[in-house]
């Protein structure tokens, strides 16, 4: 048979009386009259099944049952107080766990500054950072595996998700350092028509992949893709081996590889968009704190 749980106000009254050993002083400390205090103690004794105090004329003492209950009561009240404080912190968005998905290339731009600013403001929040490309991020947001996504080229619309642009950036040509076009400061996209391409698979980020192929199409050719790689660092490493060329967001310049060169392109009108994404119906204060941090911090270029 399950024992009845003890209301915390009765436990608190018991602890105060155990410390004062005087009904008048205990009632004054609790801010109540003596009869309600006596009623609370009697109710608690009824639930325990034994007297907790000996009430002799002019003297109140703890019984053996009372002495046994006292440390457990203090422990329970401490845990309750701590739990309430923790709940308030989580409810206000100042504590808890926030799961963030991010595209690897954003570790070169948005992510470090955002995490630094967020941790300075909310040091008690546990951050769970997961590297994933755009398509897996969108799936993880929908199924609740992550709370926030930082991704490139979000879909034009999604009834379940909200998006906010963080920054936009142009594309650059990624070339082997021995490629003849490295002699130029900028490269016209049509000059890459005869070179094999190393690109991300379309499945990991359809909009970004389509932007790159559209740049080539506008220049009069379809890129001849001979090698795929899921991450931009791998794309650049393969370009450095001479397997091909690529077109990438400008921030990829920050990947320093000895055998790779980056050049601006013409025309330079197309820009890729970096966005933060979250579930539209998510009212988590942690998510709102992160969005506020993004909005209040300077934009990354």
pLDDT of residue 6 exceeding 60: no
CA 72 to chain centre: 37
Determine the Cα–Cα distance for residues 286 and 251; give it in Å rounded to an integer: 28
CATH numbers and ranges of domains, the chain: 8-91 (1.10.10.10), 96-165+273-296 (3.40.190.10), 169-272 (3.40.190.10)
51-55, 73-77, 88-92, 244-248, range with the lowest pLDDT: 88-92
Determine the Cα–Cα distance for residues 189 and 215; give it in Å rounded to an integer: 7
Q: What pLDDT score does 300 carry?
A: 44
Running DSSP on this structure, what letter comes out for residue 89? H
Q: pLDDT confidence of 90, banded at 50, 70, 90?
A: low
Q: What pLDDT score does 154 carry?
A: 87
Q: What pLDDT score does 177 carry?
A: 95
pLDDT of residue 89 exceeding 70: no
pLDDT per residue as tens digits for the range 264-277:
999 988 899 999 99
214 versus 123: the higher-pLDDT residue is 214
pLDDT per residue as tens digits for the range 119-150:
888 888 888 999 998 889 999 999 999 999 99
Helix (H, G, I), strand (E, B) or coil at 152: strand
pLDDT of residue 19 exceeding 80: yes
pLDDT of residue 8 exceeding 60: yes
pLDDT of residue 296 exceeding 80: no
Cβ(200)–Cβ(209) below 8 Å: yes
Q: What pLDDT score does 1 carry?
A: 28
Q: What pLDDT score does 246 carry?
A: 97
Average pLDDT in the chain: 87
pLDDT of residue 32 exceeding 70: yes
Q: pLDDT confidence of 278, banded at 50, 70, 90?
A: very high
Whole-structure pTM value: 0.65
pLDDT of residue 100 exceeding 90: yes
Helix axes 134-143, 206-218, angle to 10 degrees: 150
Exposure string for 89-118, b = 16+ CB within 10 A, e = fewer: bbeebbbbebbbbbbebbbbbbbeebbebb
Q: pLDDT confidence of 285, banded at 50, 70, 90?
A: confident
Q: What pLDDT score does 301 carry?
A: 39
pLDDT of residue 299 exceeding 80: no
Q: Where are the beta strands (DSSP E) in the chain?
A: 53-56, 59-62, 96-102, 125-131, 148-152, 161-176, 186-188, 196-199, 224-228, 246-249, 260-266, 271-279
Helix axes 23-30, 8-20, angle to 10 degrees: 130
Output the six-digit token pair for 250. 């400008």
Q: What pLDDT score does 142 carry?
A: 93
Which of the given ranges, 59-63, 211-215, 281-285, has the highest pLDDT on average?
A: 211-215
Cβ(192)–Cβ(137) below 8 Å: no
Own/partner pairs for 111-120, CB < 8 Å, 24+ apart?
111/150, 113/297, 113/300, 114/150, 114/290, 114/293, 114/294, 114/297, 117/293, 117/297, 118/289, 118/290, 118/293
Q: What pLDDT score does 204 carry?
A: 85
pLDDT of residue 97 exceeding 90: no
Q: What pLDDT score does 229 carry?
A: 94
pLDDT of residue 245 exceeding 80: yes
């Amino acid at each position: 048979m399950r024992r009845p749980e003890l209301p915390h106000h009765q436990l608190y009254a018991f602890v105060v009386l155990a410390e004062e050993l005087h009904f008048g002083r205990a009632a004054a400390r609790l801010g109540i009259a003596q009869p309600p205090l006596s009623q609370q103690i009697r109710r608690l004794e009824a639930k325990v099944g034994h007297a907790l105090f000996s009430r002799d004329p002019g003297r109140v003492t703890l019984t053996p049952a009372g002495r046994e209950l006292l440390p457990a009561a203090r422990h329970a009240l401490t845990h309750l107080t701590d739990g309430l404080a923790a709940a308030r912190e989580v409810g206000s968005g100042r504590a808890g766990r926030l799961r963030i998905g991010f595209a690897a290339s954003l570790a070169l731009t948005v992510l470090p500054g955002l995490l630094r600013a967020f941790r300075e403001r909310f040091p008690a929040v546990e951050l769970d950072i997961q590297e994933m490309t755009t398509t897996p991020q969108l799936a993880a947001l929908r199924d609740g595996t992550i709370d926030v996504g930082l991704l490139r080229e979000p879909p034009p619309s999604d009834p379940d998700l909200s998006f906010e642009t963080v920054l936009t950036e142009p594309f650059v040509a990624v070339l082997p350092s021995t490629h003849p076009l490295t002699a130029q400061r900028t490269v016209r996209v049509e000059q890459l028509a005869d070179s094999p391409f190393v690109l991300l698979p379309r499945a990991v980020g359809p909009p970004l992949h389509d932007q790159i192929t559209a740049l080539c199409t506008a220049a009069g050719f379809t890129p001849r893709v001979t090698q795929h790689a899921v991450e931009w660092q791998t794309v650049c490493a393969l370009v450095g081996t001479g397997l091909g060329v690529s077109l990438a967001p400008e921030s990829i310049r920050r990947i320093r590889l000895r055998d790779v060169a980056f050049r601006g392109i013409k025309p330079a009108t197309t820009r890729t968009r970096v966005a933060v994404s979250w579930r539209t119906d998510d009212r988590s204060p942690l998510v709102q704190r992160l969005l506020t941090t993004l909005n209040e911090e300077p934009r990354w270029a």
